[in-house]
Amino acid sequence: MPWSTVELMSNLMNWTWFHKLGSPKWFYEISGRWLPWLIAAAALLMVSGLVWGLVFAPPERYQGDSYRIIYIHVPAAFLAQACYLTMALAGAVGLIWKMKIADVALQQAAPVGAWLCFIALVTGAIWGKPTWGTYWVWDARLTSMLILLFLYFGVIALGQAISNRDSAAKACAVLSLVGAVNIPIIQKSVEWWSTLHQPATFKITGKASMSAEMWLPLLLSVLGFYCLFIVLVLMRMRLEVLKRESRSAWAKAEVGKLVGARP
Protein backbone atom coordinates (compact mmCIF):
# COMPACT_ATOMS: atom_id res chain seq x y z
CA MET A 1 0.00 0.00 0.00
CA PRO A 2 1.34 3.49 -0.81
CA TRP A 3 2.31 5.52 2.21
CA SER A 4 -0.26 8.30 1.62
CA THR A 5 -3.11 5.76 1.78
CA VAL A 6 -1.81 4.41 5.06
CA GLU A 7 -1.58 7.92 6.40
CA LEU A 8 -5.12 8.77 5.28
CA MET A 9 -6.51 5.62 6.87
CA SER A 10 -4.75 6.24 10.14
CA ASN A 11 -6.10 9.79 10.12
CA LEU A 12 -9.63 8.53 9.61
CA MET A 13 -9.23 5.81 12.21
CA ASN A 14 -7.73 8.31 14.61
CA TRP A 15 -11.21 9.81 14.82
CA THR A 16 -10.35 12.61 17.21
CA TRP A 17 -13.62 14.38 16.36
CA PHE A 18 -15.53 11.28 17.43
CA HIS A 19 -13.75 11.09 20.76
CA LYS A 20 -14.22 14.80 21.32
CA LEU A 21 -17.91 14.08 20.95
CA GLY A 22 -17.56 11.56 23.76
CA SER A 23 -15.79 13.98 26.09
CA PRO A 24 -18.10 14.85 29.01
CA LYS A 25 -16.72 18.40 29.32
CA TRP A 26 -17.24 19.10 25.62
CA PHE A 27 -20.76 17.65 25.80
CA TYR A 28 -21.61 19.79 28.82
CA GLU A 29 -20.44 22.98 27.14
CA ILE A 30 -22.08 22.44 23.75
CA SER A 31 -25.39 21.21 25.22
CA GLY A 32 -25.50 24.28 27.46
CA ARG A 33 -25.23 26.47 24.39
CA TRP A 34 -27.93 24.54 22.50
CA LEU A 35 -30.50 24.26 25.32
CA PRO A 36 -32.02 27.78 25.21
CA TRP A 37 -32.65 27.48 21.47
CA LEU A 38 -34.14 24.00 21.82
CA ILE A 39 -36.41 25.16 24.64
CA ALA A 40 -37.63 28.11 22.54
CA ALA A 41 -38.24 25.85 19.54
CA ALA A 42 -40.09 23.25 21.66
CA ALA A 43 -42.38 25.86 23.24
CA LEU A 44 -43.09 27.63 19.96
CA LEU A 45 -43.77 24.47 17.94
CA MET A 46 -45.87 22.74 20.62
CA VAL A 47 -48.05 25.75 21.43
CA SER A 48 -48.69 26.57 17.77
CA GLY A 49 -49.29 22.92 16.82
CA LEU A 50 -51.65 22.16 19.72
CA VAL A 51 -53.62 25.43 19.53
CA TRP A 52 -53.99 25.02 15.77
CA GLY A 53 -55.08 21.41 16.20
CA LEU A 54 -57.50 22.09 19.05
CA VAL A 55 -59.07 25.35 17.89
CA PHE A 56 -58.58 25.91 14.17
CA ALA A 57 -58.38 22.51 12.46
CA PRO A 58 -61.71 21.31 11.02
CA PRO A 59 -63.56 18.40 12.69
CA GLU A 60 -63.08 14.95 11.22
CA ARG A 61 -65.86 13.60 9.02
CA TYR A 62 -66.62 10.44 11.06
CA GLN A 63 -65.09 11.04 14.47
CA GLY A 64 -66.12 14.68 14.92
CA ASP A 65 -63.96 16.47 17.48
CA SER A 66 -62.64 13.41 19.37
CA TYR A 67 -59.96 12.99 16.65
CA ARG A 68 -58.20 16.07 18.09
CA ILE A 69 -56.50 13.65 20.50
CA ILE A 70 -54.32 12.78 17.48
CA TYR A 71 -52.25 15.95 18.08
CA ILE A 72 -50.82 14.48 21.28
CA HIS A 73 -51.26 10.75 20.65
CA VAL A 74 -49.26 10.49 17.42
CA PRO A 75 -46.31 12.67 18.57
CA ALA A 76 -46.05 10.73 21.85
CA ALA A 77 -46.20 7.34 20.09
CA PHE A 78 -43.68 8.48 17.47
CA LEU A 79 -41.24 9.79 20.08
CA ALA A 80 -41.65 6.70 22.27
CA GLN A 81 -40.37 4.61 19.36
CA ALA A 82 -37.73 7.09 18.20
CA CYS A 83 -36.40 7.22 21.77
CA TYR A 84 -35.99 3.45 21.91
CA LEU A 85 -34.14 3.42 18.57
CA THR A 86 -31.88 6.20 19.87
CA MET A 87 -31.16 4.10 22.96
CA ALA A 88 -30.30 1.09 20.79
CA LEU A 89 -27.94 3.26 18.75
CA ALA A 90 -26.36 4.67 21.92
CA GLY A 91 -26.04 1.11 23.22
CA ALA A 92 -24.20 0.03 20.06
CA VAL A 93 -21.86 3.06 20.25
CA GLY A 94 -21.21 2.33 23.92
CA LEU A 95 -20.45 -1.35 23.32
CA ILE A 96 -18.21 -0.79 20.28
CA TRP A 97 -16.27 2.36 21.24
CA LYS A 98 -16.63 2.20 25.05
CA MET A 99 -17.91 5.77 24.93
CA LYS A 100 -19.14 6.76 28.40
CA ILE A 101 -21.42 9.56 27.21
CA ALA A 102 -23.39 6.97 25.18
CA ASP A 103 -24.30 5.14 28.38
CA VAL A 104 -25.34 8.42 30.01
CA ALA A 105 -27.58 9.14 27.00
CA LEU A 106 -29.10 5.65 27.05
CA GLN A 107 -29.95 5.59 30.74
CA GLN A 108 -31.24 9.18 30.89
CA ALA A 109 -33.41 8.74 27.78
CA ALA A 110 -35.11 5.61 29.17
CA PRO A 111 -37.45 7.30 31.74
CA VAL A 112 -38.42 10.01 29.24
CA GLY A 113 -39.22 7.35 26.64
CA ALA A 114 -41.23 5.38 29.19
CA TRP A 115 -43.35 8.44 30.05
CA LEU A 116 -43.95 9.16 26.34
CA CYS A 117 -44.98 5.53 25.82
CA PHE A 118 -47.34 5.90 28.80
CA ILE A 119 -48.87 9.04 27.22
CA ALA A 120 -49.33 7.22 23.90
CA LEU A 121 -51.07 4.27 25.59
CA VAL A 122 -53.33 6.39 27.83
CA THR A 123 -54.39 8.90 25.14
CA GLY A 124 -54.93 5.96 22.76
CA ALA A 125 -57.19 4.23 25.30
CA ILE A 126 -59.18 7.45 25.91
CA TRP A 127 -59.52 7.97 22.15
CA GLY A 128 -60.57 4.34 21.69
CA LYS A 129 -63.65 4.69 23.87
CA PRO A 130 -65.66 7.10 21.65
CA THR A 131 -64.18 5.68 18.42
CA TRP A 132 -64.15 1.90 18.91
CA GLY A 133 -66.45 1.66 21.93
CA THR A 134 -63.71 0.21 24.13
CA TYR A 135 -60.65 1.47 26.01
CA TRP A 136 -58.50 -1.53 25.25
CA VAL A 137 -58.27 -4.47 22.87
CA TRP A 138 -55.48 -7.04 22.81
CA ASP A 139 -54.60 -6.40 19.20
CA ALA A 140 -51.14 -6.29 17.66
CA ARG A 141 -50.52 -2.53 17.71
CA LEU A 142 -51.68 -1.98 21.28
CA THR A 143 -49.96 -5.08 22.64
CA SER A 144 -46.64 -4.29 20.95
CA MET A 145 -46.79 -0.74 22.40
CA LEU A 146 -47.41 -2.23 25.85
CA ILE A 147 -44.36 -4.47 25.32
CA LEU A 148 -42.38 -1.31 24.49
CA LEU A 149 -43.38 0.16 27.86
CA PHE A 150 -42.19 -3.01 29.62
CA LEU A 151 -38.90 -2.88 27.68
CA TYR A 152 -38.41 0.65 29.02
CA PHE A 153 -39.13 -0.60 32.55
CA GLY A 154 -36.58 -3.37 31.94
CA VAL A 155 -33.82 -0.94 30.93
CA ILE A 156 -34.56 1.37 33.88
CA ALA A 157 -34.60 -1.55 36.34
CA LEU A 158 -31.36 -3.03 34.96
CA GLY A 159 -29.59 0.32 35.19
CA GLN A 160 -30.62 0.72 38.82
CA ALA A 161 -30.17 -2.89 39.96
CA ILE A 162 -26.56 -3.37 38.82
CA SER A 163 -24.23 -1.33 41.01
CA ASN A 164 -21.11 -1.76 38.87
CA ARG A 165 -21.36 1.05 36.32
CA ASP A 166 -19.66 -0.79 33.43
CA SER A 167 -21.76 -3.94 33.89
CA ALA A 168 -24.95 -1.89 34.12
CA ALA A 169 -24.02 0.00 30.93
CA LYS A 170 -23.35 -3.26 29.10
CA ALA A 171 -26.59 -4.90 30.27
CA CYS A 172 -28.71 -1.84 29.33
CA ALA A 173 -27.02 -1.62 25.93
CA VAL A 174 -27.73 -5.29 25.16
CA LEU A 175 -31.37 -5.04 26.26
CA SER A 176 -31.83 -1.86 24.17
CA LEU A 177 -30.38 -3.56 21.10
CA VAL A 178 -32.38 -6.77 21.52
CA GLY A 179 -35.58 -4.89 22.35
CA ALA A 180 -35.25 -2.76 19.21
CA VAL A 181 -36.69 -5.77 17.30
CA ASN A 182 -40.04 -4.66 18.72
CA ILE A 183 -39.98 -1.33 16.82
CA PRO A 184 -40.50 -2.73 13.29
CA ILE A 185 -43.15 -5.02 14.79
CA ILE A 186 -45.02 -1.96 16.12
CA GLN A 187 -44.63 -0.26 12.74
CA LYS A 188 -45.85 -3.22 10.68
CA SER A 189 -48.46 -4.49 13.17
CA VAL A 190 -51.33 -2.68 11.42
CA GLU A 191 -50.38 -4.32 8.11
CA TRP A 192 -49.54 -7.83 9.30
CA TRP A 193 -52.52 -8.46 11.56
CA SER A 194 -56.12 -7.34 11.31
CA THR A 195 -56.59 -4.60 13.84
CA LEU A 196 -58.88 -1.80 14.94
CA HIS A 197 -55.99 0.65 14.81
CA GLN A 198 -55.85 2.84 11.75
CA PRO A 199 -52.72 2.73 9.55
CA ALA A 200 -50.00 5.37 9.66
CA THR A 201 -51.10 8.96 9.07
CA PHE A 202 -47.78 9.97 7.56
CA LYS A 203 -45.85 7.93 5.08
CA ILE A 204 -42.39 8.80 3.80
CA THR A 205 -43.54 7.91 0.29
CA GLY A 206 -46.97 8.76 -1.02
CA LYS A 207 -49.55 11.29 0.04
CA ALA A 208 -50.78 11.86 3.56
CA SER A 209 -54.24 10.48 4.21
CA MET A 210 -55.47 13.76 5.72
CA SER A 211 -56.12 17.25 4.42
CA ALA A 212 -53.33 19.80 4.87
CA GLU A 213 -55.19 21.82 7.50
CA MET A 214 -55.28 18.65 9.63
CA TRP A 215 -51.76 17.31 9.11
CA LEU A 216 -49.87 20.61 9.23
CA PRO A 217 -50.65 21.18 12.93
CA LEU A 218 -49.82 17.50 13.52
CA LEU A 219 -46.43 18.00 11.89
CA LEU A 220 -45.77 21.06 14.10
CA SER A 221 -46.78 19.09 17.18
CA VAL A 222 -44.50 16.15 16.27
CA LEU A 223 -41.55 18.53 15.77
CA GLY A 224 -42.39 20.28 19.05
CA PHE A 225 -42.49 16.97 20.95
CA TYR A 226 -39.17 16.07 19.29
CA CYS A 227 -37.52 19.28 20.55
CA LEU A 228 -39.02 18.82 24.03
CA PHE A 229 -37.72 15.25 24.12
CA ILE A 230 -34.19 16.43 23.25
CA VAL A 231 -34.45 19.17 25.90
CA LEU A 232 -35.54 16.70 28.60
CA VAL A 233 -32.82 14.17 27.78
CA LEU A 234 -30.13 16.88 27.63
CA MET A 235 -31.22 18.32 30.99
CA ARG A 236 -31.02 14.87 32.60
CA MET A 237 -27.71 14.05 30.88
CA ARG A 238 -26.10 17.32 31.99
CA LEU A 239 -26.89 16.63 35.65
CA GLU A 240 -25.69 13.03 35.36
CA VAL A 241 -22.43 14.14 33.69
CA LEU A 242 -21.89 16.71 36.45
CA LYS A 243 -22.35 13.96 39.07
CA ARG A 244 -20.16 11.38 37.34
CA GLU A 245 -17.38 13.91 36.70
CA SER A 246 -17.58 15.44 40.18
CA ARG A 247 -13.87 14.66 40.79
CA SER A 248 -12.65 16.47 37.68
CA ALA A 249 -11.51 20.08 37.82
CA TRP A 250 -14.00 21.43 35.28
CA ALA A 251 -17.00 19.87 37.06
CA LYS A 252 -15.82 21.25 40.42
CA ALA A 253 -15.47 24.70 38.86
CA GLU A 254 -18.94 24.44 37.30
CA VAL A 255 -20.58 23.31 40.55
CA GLY A 256 -18.77 26.10 42.39
CA LYS A 257 -20.09 28.61 39.90
CA LEU A 258 -23.66 27.27 40.14
CA VAL A 259 -23.56 27.13 43.93
CA GLY A 260 -22.04 30.61 44.21
CA ALA A 261 -24.72 32.07 41.95
CA ARG A 262 -27.46 30.96 44.37
CA PRO A 263 -27.05 32.20 47.97
Partner 1 sequence: MSFASLSDFIAMGGHGVYVWSAYGITLGVLGLNIAMPILAKRRYLQDEARRLRRESNS
Residues 75-94 that bind partner 1 (CB under 8 A): 76
Provide the 3-class DSSP secondary structure of residue 164: coil
Residues 173-232 that bind partner 1 (CB under 8 A): 228, 232
Nearer of residues 73 and 141 to partner 1, judged by Cβ: 73
Nearer of residues 161 and 259 to partner 1, judged by Cβ: 259
Beta carbons of 38 and 230 less than 8 angstroms apart:
yes
With a CB cutoff of 8 Å and minimum separation 6, the contacts of 135 are: 125, 126, 128, 129
Q: Using CA atoms, how far apart are residues 48 and 54, in angstroms rounded to an integer?
A: 10
Q: Using CA atoms, how far apart are residues 227 and 214, in angstroms rounded to an integer?
A: 21
| Interface pick for partner 1 out of 4, 16, 58, 138 (rule CB under 8 A) | 58
Nearer of residues 8 and 239 to partner 1, judged by Cβ: 239
Beta carbons of 168 and 158 less than 8 angstroms apart:
yes
Q: Does 69 bind partner 1 (CB under 8 A)?
A: yes
CA distances from 242 to 26, 34, 36, 74 (A): 12, 17, 19, 34
Number of residues interacting with partner 1: please give it, by CB under 8 A.
38
Q: Does 55 bind partner 1 (CB under 8 A)?
A: yes
Beta carbons of 229 and 38 less than 8 angstroms apart:
no
Nearer of residues 69 and 180 to partner 1, judged by Cβ: 69
Residues 222-261 that bind partner 1 (CB under 8 A): 228, 232, 235-236, 239, 242-243, 246, 255-256, 258-259
Q: Does 45 bind partner 1 (CB under 8 A)?
A: no
Residues 109-138 that bind partner 1 (CB under 8 A): 112, 115, 118-119, 122-123, 126-127, 129-130
| Interface pick for partner 1 out of 36, 64, 184, 199 (rule CB under 8 A) | 64
Beta carbons of 70 and 57 less than 8 angstroms apart:
no
